[in-house]
Amino acid sequence: MLDRKHFRVMEKIADREEMFAEPAIEITRREMTELIKSKKEMKVWSTKLDGSRMKRTMRTGNPTGRKSGNPRYKQKGQWVMISQTNSGEWRTIVLKTVEKVKVGNQVYKVR
Q: 16-48 pLDDT, tens per residue?
A: 555 555 688 999 999 998 888 887 899 999 998
Q: What pLDDT is stored for residue 45 in this prediction?
A: 93
The arithmetic mean of pLDDT across residues 48-66, rounded, is 79
- What span, in angstroms and rounded, lies between the C-alpha atoms of 9 and 13? 6
Q: 82 falls in which pLDDT band (50, 70, 90)?
A: confident
Q: What pLDDT is stored for residue 81 in this prediction?
A: 86
Nearest Cα residue to 44 out of 1, 10, 78: 78
Reduce the DSSP state of residue 36 to 3 states and report it: helix
Domain segments of the chain: what residues? 24-110
77 alpha-carbon distance from chain centroid: 15
43 strand-pairing partners: 57, 102
Prediction pTM value: 0.70
Percentage of the chain with pLDDT > 70? 73
